[in-house]
Structure 1
């Protein structure tokens, strides 16, 4: 059970790393929009962050169903492991009684 839980957790971590990698690749494209500065207007300070957050939200939304399913699976696995440990403790305690 614990091996299956580690595999599920690994899949969630892999998705997180993939999103991070894609966002890292997008940063140069997000920051390159300074055409207005050449005409005498400085770029808006929060514009990059807005574009970054919007892109991150879009990438996360693409994988949200998969993340939700894996999160539910991980919660079920945690509950099963906890219930198993409780049963083992009860069985061990019963054997230890005289």
Structure 2
């Protein structure tokens, strides 16, 4: 009975560690979203001094938005990559423990590439 309880406790700890790793990934995503929300008014419609009557190209705002988003994402990419690798290792370890102990069930949230 002790080995079963030990495996169950180990599996529970592993799943909690996986949830924390997923939480860190979600936190990074929310931080990027928050920064982009703050930047939207700054990258919004730009007036060009004496040429105010002339509108800007239709895709200019979207271009600036994508460039800023790419820059913010690139800043955090090494951290995101490391967390994704850690999440994949945790998924594999949890699956191995489950197969050894005969416990069935899927992970609460499968690993998704960001």
Using the size of structure 1 for normalisation, the TM-score is 0.86
Q: Structure 1: give runs of 5+ residues left out of the alignment.
A: 91-98
* Residues 43-81 of structure 1, C-alpha deviations (whole Å, 9 max, x = no match): 111000000000000000000000000000000000000
| Aligned counterparts of 1:32 and 1:46: Cα–Cα separation in 2 | 11
Residue matched to 2:15: 2
The list of structure 1 runs, each at least 4 consecutive aligned residues, that deviate by more than 3 angstroms after superposition, is none
Q: Which has the larger radius of gyration?
A: 1
* Residues 18-61 of structure 1, C-alpha deviations (whole Å, 9 max, x = no match): 000000000000113122651x3111110000000000000000
Counting matched residue pairs gives 89
Q: Structure 2: give runs of 5+ residues left out of the alignment.
A: 1-13, 104-114
Pick 1 or 2: higher relative contact order, CA cutoff 8 A, min separation 6: 1
2:45–2:61 Cα contact (<8 Å) kept: no
